[in-house]
Structure 1
Amino acid sequence: MSPQTTRRFRTAKKIQAAAVALAVRDGLSNVTTEAIAREAGISTRTFFNYYPYKEAALAGPPPDYPSEAAERFVAGSGSLIDDLEQLIEAHLARFLSEREMLAHMFRLAETDAKLGALRNSAVMARRAQMRELLSRRMPRADGRMVEILAAAIIAATNAATKDWLSGERNDFIAAARHNLALILPAAEMLKSTTGRAL
């Protein structure tokens, strides 16, 4: 990340933290973009340089995979699961200090349709990114299998995120690793004649 990109990301995160704090304190419907800008110590004009509206600020910057870690994954020569775990760890490690804020944001998204739609869009964007990374790493793989695998990986990390934010699991990265390891046994369930193998 260039210094300018790093600065922009930090400002975007500062705005997100301000937006979430105000929504928790005052209720989302009572929060304005002006109030968020004030809380973040920026001008309203600067706010709009980062986000088009308050719900976008609550959702925060797109949680894309770290570019360097993504490139290492694509070029990796280890087992797919080992290299995938390294990518996911690099991705999730950036959020470890934001547990409380993200928990608030996820709860708000459950009751606000616009924010919920933004969260769902972010999940779909990550799934598309994972599909692209898998395709680049395995260019001769069946595209349908890549799509299914990408969906399973995102489902595994999303489940870990929910467990971590709810307090059910305290080690975010360990929870994600555990869930990734469940993908193969989950697929094996399809071979069961009763569907009750596990």
Structure 2
Amino acid sequence: MSPQEARRLKTAKKIQSAAVALAVRDGLANVTTEAIAREAGISTRTFFNYYPYKEAALMGPPPDYPADAAEAFIAGRGRLIDDLSCLIEAHLSRFLGEREMIGHLLRLSETDAKLEALRNSAMLARRAQMRNLLHRRLPGSDPRLIEILAAAIIAATNAATKDWVSGERPDFIAAAHENLTMIVAAAELLGKSQPA
């Protein structure tokens, strides 16, 4: 990441933090883009250079997979689950200091349809990114298997996020690793018959 990209990310995160804090304190309906800009110590014009509206600011910058970790995953020659765990750890480690803010964001999205739609859209985008990484790592694989695996990976990390912010699982990375290994166990359930 270049110094300019790092500065942009820092400002985008500062705006997100201000937006979430105001939404928690005043209620999302009462928050304006002007108030967010004021809280973040920037001009309204600068706000719009980063986000088109307040809900987008609450969501923050798109959490793409780190480029270097993504390339290492694609080039990896180890077991897929091990290389995937390294990628997910690199991805999630960036959010370890944001537990409270992510928790607020999840709770706010439960009561705001626009924010919930943005969260769902972000998850679909991340699933598409994962699908692309898997296609590049496993060229020639059945696209249906790739699609199913990508969806399972996103579900596993999403469940780990919810458990972490709720306090049920204090170690975010360990929760994600455990959930990823459960994908295999979940698939094995399909071949089991129910005892009478």
TM-score, L = length of structure 1: 0.97
Aligned residues: 195
Matched, 1:39 2:39: yes
Matched, 1:146 2:146: yes
Indicate the residue corresponding to 1:190 in structure 2.
Answer: 190
Structure 1 residue runs of 4 or more that deviate by more than 6 Å after TM superposition: none
Partner-residue secondary structure (3-state), 2:61: coil
Deviation at 1:165, TM superposition (A): 0.7
User: Equivalences for 1:165-180 in 2 at 5 Å?
Assistant: 165-180=165-180
User: Equivalences for 1:57-96 in 2 at 5 Å?
Assistant: 57-96=57-96
Alignment RMSD (CA, Å): 0.7
Q: Distance in 2 between matches of 1:158 and 1:23?
A: 23
Deviation at 1:2, TM superposition (A): 1.0
Indicate the residue corresponding to 1:110 in structure 2.
Answer: 110
What amino acid sits opposite 1:148 in the alignment? Answer: I
Indicate the residue corresponding to 1:54 in structure 2.
Answer: 54
Indicate the residue corresponding to 1:22 in structure 2.
Answer: 22
Gaps of 5+ in 2: none
Q: Distance in 2 between matches of 1:128 and 1:42?
A: 33
Identity %, equivalent residues: 76
Q: Distance in 1 between matches of 2:109 and 2:63?
A: 16
TM-score, L = length of structure 2: 0.98
Q: Distance in 2 between matches of 1:193 and 1:80?
A: 28
Q: Distance in 2 between matches of 1:21 and 1:89?
A: 27
Q: Distance in 1 between matches of 2:2 and 2:75?
A: 22
Q: Distance in 1 between matches of 2:97 and 2:74?
A: 27
Partner-residue secondary structure (3-state), 2:46: helix
Q: Distance in 1 between matches of 2:166 and 2:97?
A: 15
Deviation at 1:60, TM superposition (A): 0.5
Q: Distance in 2 between matches of 1:31 and 1:103?
A: 19
Q: Distance in 2 between matches of 1:98 and 1:190?
A: 37
